[in-house]
A and B are shown apart, each in its own frame.
Chain A
Amino acid sequence: MGKDFIKMKHSKILIIFFAFFASNILHAEQTKPLRVMSIDWTQTETLIALGIKPIAMAQQSGYEAWVKAPAIPSTTADVGLRTQPNLERLSELKPDKIFISPMFTSLIPKLSHIAPVTNITLYKQDNISWDGFKTFTRRLGDETNAQAEAETLISSSEKKLADLAGQIAKDTPPLLMVQFMDSRHVRVFGANSMYKVAANKIGLETAWKEKTNAWGFTLVGIDKLMNTKSQIIIIKPIPVGAAENLQQDLFWQYLVKQSGQPALIVEPAWSFGAIPSTVRFAELLTNTLSNKEKQ
């Protein structure tokens, strides 16, 4: 009987212990948010837009210069270069989950020692569209227990874009969206680019029909931009010196004259971003176009 008692006691203790731990874990899950981080700026951007505070990110100063919004929470640590995040620092931060994009697959053997690594693809040929962005956002939401936030982000963005579409003049010609690399070379954005998704969502077409790379652009000399009846949109930043050169460049002036519209300059969003960047760019674009109408 003594034995039985001990047995019972044991199992009781076990049950009590188990219950205690389980409640602890459940408790922790409810109060402590998942500690996640991402190497990729597009993922970081989306995570922050979902209301998650990533514990770490890579190349913070670069994000601030190129992605700009949404703003990085003050609690987010910088782990250095995207190509080689500082592993010691990352392991001290004890993340629960690390997100990467396929560009950084070579980091998996190292990163997986720190936390489970989730590889999410966005930028690849024929994947960049509003549906692609939605899938990407939902996937990140699933991975971070933020399904509801993902749906909210998607629907509020769609509403916002629909509003913007209403402000666009119906007779706007197709857009030739270029970003100057130096005074003679541009990235022209076309199929598979975030800029095209943004333009299409507000009811505009893109003028560049040539093949683009997985990031949605073609790098060309400006001599390849002839014969496009379009509205030229210059996406900032314009490299130093290029603006002066363009004013003196006979060929560029001929191109602008031929397009039939003065070229417009738009503030940039992250060229390889997802939903937050798309909405931001759509706003900037709408503002620029409607300012032009007013003039």
Chain B
Amino acid sequence: MRVFPISFIAILTACVALFMGWQLSLNDSFLHNLTSLLQPNWLSDNSIKLHLTWWPRLFTTLICGAALATAGLLMQQVLRNPLASPTTLGVASGASFSLMMATLYAPWLIELSHSLVAMTGGLMAMGIVFALSWRRALSPTIVVISGLILNLYFGAFSSVLLIMNQEKLAGLMIWGAGSLTQTGWGNVAYLAPRIFALILIAFLFVKPLTLLQLSESGAKSLGVSLAKLRVICLGLAVLLTSLVVATVGIIGFIGLAAPAITRLIGVHRLLPKFLVSMLIGALLLTLTDLAIQRLPGLMSIMIPTGAATAALGAPLMLWLLPKLAMRSQTHTETILTRHSEQGRYLSKYTIWIALGIVFTGLFIFSSLSIGNNGWSWIFTTHNWSVLEWRLPRLLAAILAGAMLATAGTIIQRLSGNPMASPEVIGISSGTALGVIVVLFSGLSSSLTGMYIGGFIGALCAVGLIILLNRKSGFQPEKVLLTGVAITALMSAVQSIVLAGGDPRSYQLLAWLAGTTYYVTTDALIPLTTVTIILIAIGFICHRWLDILPLGEASTRALGINVSRSRMLLLLLVSGLTVSATLVVGPLSFIGLMAPHLARLLGFSRAKEHLVASIMVGSTLMLFSDWLGRQILYPQDIPTGMVASIIGGLYLMWGLRRL
């Protein structure tokens, strides 16, 4: 090992030691405090507090940090994707979802064992991911996409449960934000042996993993069963993650950041990489937690560590980004963005049919609905006034669907990454952050205030993306990572807000879920104009979208300025996302799903891909908006959630065929 990694770890250790020393020198003599670890003085409050809360917390953070880092490294190694992390495979959201379901519908399960419920959920999520990607021999790309879809799917379901049962699920939000408060040695005793055993098993696989690192075919020729290796390693990672998630809650970022930092400080061989990642993971989490405990007054209570690591990790990630050596784009080119030869062509005829479908849908959905007297058809009731409520929403749904689909298609083609979507590059998150700040700083809770805040947030996000990526020529992977960091920051802030139990947070949740509820008739004209202009620009750029996925070299050979075209497309995507987000909330999934669905339908040339995904996006949104208002009448389920529940099902079905 070179000097840099050692000194980096030394600095981290020194920081941890410093904080520990600080805590231990308070209230009593250092020696007494130190001995409280093993022999507490049962007559002294301070000693008991240290023995039963502080020390267990310290060990919990060390163990959890190491476990998450190992899990993250295993996943990144097996999936060969620097964005893979314990949360990527849906483990955390699976666990969270099963806990919610159990809390609401089978409380006796939780009485039986809280951890078991969470772990079952996590493992089930993993099982689904495996089942979806089995036919492709657990190909890394398919695994990551399946995980992502499952995450979104569980996320959407959980949000529906949450907005309908906010009071009942308040406790779960604290768990979701990863509070590390301990009140005894139970968790340490439970976690330590299990995690130690799992990590030992992981070490047995260092050698085959090293082979895999070289190349897939190389590993195969040396007699390593790829599928078996992937199942075992991912299984280990999932077990590690779900153990941590089940006992202390969701802790963001460590699993992603620790291996990334290890790579950055120049550790490349696998065995040292494991050891260094574990150390960094453990130290990072402990340091964050110790620092949070030392925050003055109530700040330390209001900020759960799990969310805080995510919030602190985001700037760290942003700072590290320019230093990250990225493989070139062709390397990450994937099945879903592959330039297929037998792409389906759209005739003018099909476009008319598709348009026809959208308008028929609009006609039916605006006239048929449940009302106070059950199902009613507007032509028999002649109650035309309800159109005032229905039409703006349905139209806005179509427009937003079209815009997000365009943005998603562009960003997926541009980045060659199937995980890319307007939400992933961080613009929606920027918007949401702006809204959170406006709502909770007490500036305003009116709609105009939310719009302005959201707009400023989005501008900041776009500014940050451009600032950080200008030098690297808007390399798609880096743009994505910037987005991941911004998104991590947003979700951290969101989970802190939700954990606090402030009743205002549910208004935020409803908005974040993506709803056309707030659209007014006045907003429709500007929205339509913007949609038409921006989508038209998208079509003008279709040649770039055909050429850019071919890779940088070919693009340049065709006389296109790669950097400039990427930046222009990025700006276009921002414009589309901001306008859609401001009107209908940061709908999280249309931008991701519509392009996928269009591709699954067989459209792969840029122009066809754009048209098809716009059609898919707007039809899906239209239907979702209508269904959301009927399915649990009179409850109004946000459009974005319904869209992701429907679209997610189709995506999973489509993945099987891939």
Contact = CB atoms under 8 A, between A and B. Distances in A.
A191 B24 CA distance: 33
B183 A252 contact: yes
Interface in B372-398: 372, 383, 385-386, 388-390
Given A92-B372, A110-B518, A182-B174, A103 B503 contact: yes
Contacts of B386: 88, 91-92
Contacts of A166: none
Interface stretch (B72-80, B315-323, B473-481, B634-642): B634-642
A105 B447 CA distance: 8
Contact of A103 (B445, B632, B634): B445
A188 B388 CA distance: 46
A34 interface: no
B636 A223 contact: no
Given A110-B520, A240-B103, A254-B48, A93 B372 contact: yes
B477 to A, nearest CB: 38
In which size bucket is the chain B interface? 35 or more
A177 B245 CA distance: 30
Interface string B146-187: 000000000000000001110110111011000101111010
Given A103-B504, A103-B507, A88 B371 contact: yes
Interface centre among A82, A222, A252 (most CB of B within 10 A): A82
B49 interface: yes
B634 A239 contact: no
A239 B171 contact: yes
B638 A220 contact: no
Given A110-B518, A213-B500, A84 B174 contact: no
A203 to B, nearest CB: 29
Interface stretch (B107-115, B281-289, B603-611): B107-115
Contacts of B168: 65
B190 interface: no
A182 B171 contact: yes
A58 B163 CA distance: 13
B502 A213 contact: yes
A104 B638 CA distance: 16
Interface in A80-103: 80-89, 91-93, 102-103
Interface residues of A, number: 63
A1 interface: no
A93 B634 CA distance: 13
A126 interface: no
B560 interface: no
B390 A219 contact: no
Contacts of B445: 102-103, 105-106
Contacts of A86: 629, 633-636
A84 B638 contact: yes
Contacts of B557: none
A80 B632 CA distance: 9
Interface in A201-224: 210-211, 213-215, 217-224
Given A92-B371, A184-B179, A239-B171, A81 B164 contact: yes
B55 to A, nearest CB: 12
Interface string A234-255: 0000011100100011111010
B271 interface: no
Contact of B184 (A77, A78, A241, A250): A250
Nearest to A101: B503
Contacts of B182: 184, 223
B341 interface: no
Interface string B181-204: 111101000000000000000000
Contacts of A104: 507
B302 interface: yes
B5 interface: no
Interface string A129-159: 0000000000000000000000000000000
B103 A83 contact: no
Given A226-B49, A241-B111, A83 B503 contact: no
B102 to A, nearest CB: 8
- Looking at chain A's contact residues, is the secondary structure mostly helix, strand, loop, or mixed? mixed
A168 interface: no
Contacts of B183: 184, 221-223, 249-252
A33 interface: no
A77 to B, nearest CB: 8
Nearest to A210: B298
A219 B175 contact: no
A219 B301 contact: yes
A213 B174 CA distance: 17
B301 A220 contact: yes
A62 interface: yes
B618 interface: no
B520 A89 contact: no
Nearest to B638: A84
B517 interface: yes
B499 to A, nearest CB: 7
A176 interface: no
B447 A91 contact: no
Interface centre among A102, A110, A226, A241 (most CB of B within 10 A): A241
B506 A83 contact: yes
Interface string B566-591: 00000000000000000000000000
B515 interface: yes
B510 interface: yes
A109 interface: yes
A66 B167 contact: yes
A93 B175 CA distance: 41
A273 B111 CA distance: 30
A89 B634 contact: yes
A227 B49 CA distance: 11
A86 B386 CA distance: 12
Contacts of A272: 503
A158 to B, nearest CB: 28
A68 interface: no
A113 interface: yes
A175 interface: no
Given A219-B501, A241-B111, A254 B52 contact: yes
Contacts of A180: 171
A219 B500 contact: yes
A222 B181 contact: yes
B111 A244 contact: yes
Interface in B444-461: 445-447, 450
B369 interface: yes
Nearest to B506: A83
Contacts of B53: 223, 251
A272 B179 CA distance: 25
A229 interface: no
A221 B298 contact: no
Nearest to B56: A251
Interface centre among B297, B500, B501, B504 (most CB of A within 10 A): B501
Can you list the 9 inter-chain pairs with the closest CB atoms, starting with the nearest? A221-B181, A251-B183, A83-B510, A181-B171, A80-B634, A240-B107, A86-B634, A182-B171, A80-B635
Interface of A: 59, 62, 65-66, 77-89, 91-93, 102-106, 108-110, 113, 123, 180-182, 184-185, 187, 210-211, 213-215, 217-224, 226-227, 239-241, 244, 248-252, 254, 258, 272
Given A91-B385, A106-B447, A210-B298, 11 more contacts: A80-B632, A81-B163, A87-B389, A109-B520, A181-B501, A184-B181, A220-B301, A221-B181, A221-B183, A223-B53, A250-B184
21 contacts: A79-B634, A80-B635, A80-B636, A86-B635, A87-B389, A88-B369, A91-B386, A103-B503, A110-B517, A180-B171, A181-B501, A182-B172, A185-B171, A218-B301, A219-B499, A223-B49, A239-B171, A244-B111, A248-B186, A251-B48, A251-B184
